[in-house]
């Protein structure tokens, strides 16, 4: 047997009358006249099949059927109100889910402050944060398994993706603390010729890998890769053991290892660039909200070197 549908206006009228137990007061609270209220209640009683109210002389009281229906009717109305509020919050960008990939080294720089500010502005938003190297982030963006990424050295091919610079920083030499070059304040890159190198694999971030090896080649040598490691913290740990040296973004200095020395390199003008990436035309309003937050929290960084349109879809200030 099919279950009868109970229209929400009739449930609303029923709940208000059950709370007031007076047709005049209930009608005034609903903003309607008494006859339409009575019609709503009669239609609801027809659907239920039993009276919901005893209408005695000068009094209105719930029947046993009415008392049984009241909790469910209240839950239905509350659920609808909550659903509407959630839909409005998600639609406006104040709530919803935002999946963000990030390169581990950016957790040492821009990521904490950016996420802290975003959470203060949008406390109802759910952030799903995933640590990923650059190449997997780009794949995840195109596969729609993340909504935004914080990565290093974006590719030249920007099809379907937008990028905005959030950080430019120099490179440093990563040396065992006992290495003779660790006694110098600055290391000309050419002095690392012949040293074994520990680097991230090219597949993890082709542009960053090529940037580092390109700097070495400009200094007159091709680095000899002795060991690969997927994360910079592992790179530093392997350098500490004496397996080799490395060249890394300067923020890696925040990884505190007693057996590792970080030294400025020459050419000092060499920089690495970190960007926020997103799909152009993404319908998730939180994408635009995070970009707006970046523009306000990191204006001196995000405003320089943008490689795509500075506004995201549905961006709001």
Residue 87 belongs to a domain: yes
Measured N-to-C along each axis, helices 110-121 and 285-297 cross at an angle, to the nearest 10 degrees, of 120
Q: Confidence band (pLDDT; 50, 70, 90) for 58? A: confident
pLDDT at 6: 56
**139-161 average pLDDT score:** 88
More confident residue, 78 or 94: 78
More confident residue, 61 or 88: 61
| Alpha helices (H) along the chain | 8-20, 23-30, 34-48, 64-92, 110-121, 134-143, 206-218, 232-240, 285-297, 299-302
Do 264 and 195 sit in the same domain of this protein? yes
**257-268 average pLDDT score:** 92
Do 121 and 267 sit in the same domain of this protein? no
Do 220 and 203 sit in the same domain of this protein? yes
Q: Do residues 182 and 265 lie in contact, with contact meaning Cβ atoms separated by under 8 Å? A: no
pLDDT at 306: 35
Residue 82 belongs to a domain: yes
Do 176 and 27 sit in the same domain of this protein? no
pLDDT digits (tens, 9 = 90+) for 192-235: 999 999 999 999 889 999 999 999 999 999 999 999 998 899 99
Do 150 and 294 sit in the same domain of this protein? yes
Count of Cβ atoms closer than 10 Å to residue 166 Cβ: 24
**Nearest by Cα to 217 from 193, 235, 201, 199:** 193
User: Quick one: CA torsion of 232, 234, 240, 246, rounded to 10 degrees?
Assistant: -40
Do 136 and 198 sit in the same domain of this protein? no
Among residues 91, 116, 146, the one where a domain terminates is 91
Provide the residue range defining the domain that includes 136.
Answer: 95-159+274-302
Do 173 and 262 sit in the same domain of this protein? yes
Do 171 and 236 sit in the same domain of this protein? yes
DSSP codes joined into one string, 249-299? EGGGGGS--TTEEEEEEESTT-EEEEEEEEETT---HHHHHHHHHHHHHSH
Helix (H, G, I), strand (E, B) or coil at 131: strand
**111-137 average pLDDT score:** 89
Q: How many domains does the chain have?
A: 3
pLDDT at 105: 86
The CATH number for 108's domain is: 3.40.190.10
The answer to which of 124-128, 167-171, 279-283, 299-303 has the lowest mean pLDDT is: 299-303
**133-137 average pLDDT score:** 91
pLDDT at 178: 95
pLDDT at 314: 31
More confident residue, 89 or 78: 78
């Amino acid at each position: 047997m099919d279950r009868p549908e109970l229209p929400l206006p009739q449930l609303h009228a029923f709940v208000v009358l059950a709370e007031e137990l007076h047709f005049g007061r209930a009608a005034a609270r609903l903003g309607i006249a008494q006859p339409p209220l009575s019609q709503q209640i009669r239609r609801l009683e027809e659907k239920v099949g039993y009276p919901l109210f005893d209408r005695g002389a000068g009094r209105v009281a719930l029947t046993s059927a009415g008392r049984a229906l009241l909790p469910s009717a209240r839950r239905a109305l509350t659920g609808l109100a909550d659903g509407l509020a959630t839909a409005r919050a998600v639609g406006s960008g104040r709530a919803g889910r935002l999946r963000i990939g990030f390169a581990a080294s950016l957790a040492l720089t821009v990521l904490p402050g950016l996420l802290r500010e975003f959470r203060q502005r949008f406390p109802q938003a759910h952030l799903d944060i995933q640590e990923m190297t650059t190449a997997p982030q780009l794949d995840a963006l195109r596969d729609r398994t993340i909504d935004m990424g914080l990565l290093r050295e974006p590719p030249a091919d920007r099809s379907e993706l937008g990028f905005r610079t959030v950080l430019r920083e120099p490179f440093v030499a990563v040396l065992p603390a006992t290495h003779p070059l660790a006694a110098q304040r600055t290391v000309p890159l050419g002095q690392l010729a012949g040293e074994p190198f520990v680097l991230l694999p090219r597949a993890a971030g082709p542009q960053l890998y090529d940037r580092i090896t390109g700097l070495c080649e400009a200094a007159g040598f091709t680095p000899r890769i002795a060991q690969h490691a997927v994360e910079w913290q592992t790179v530093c740990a392997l350098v500490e053991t004496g397996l080799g040296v490395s060249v890394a973004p300067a923020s890696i200095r925040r990884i505190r290892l007693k057996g590792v020395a970080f030294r400025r390199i020459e050419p000092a003008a060499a920089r690495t660039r970190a960007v926020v990436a997103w799909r152009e035309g993404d319908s998730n309003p939180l994408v635009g909200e995070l970009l707006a937050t970046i523009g306000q929290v990191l204006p001196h960084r995000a405003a320089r070197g943008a490689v795509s349109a500075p506004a995201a879809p549905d961006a709001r200030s």
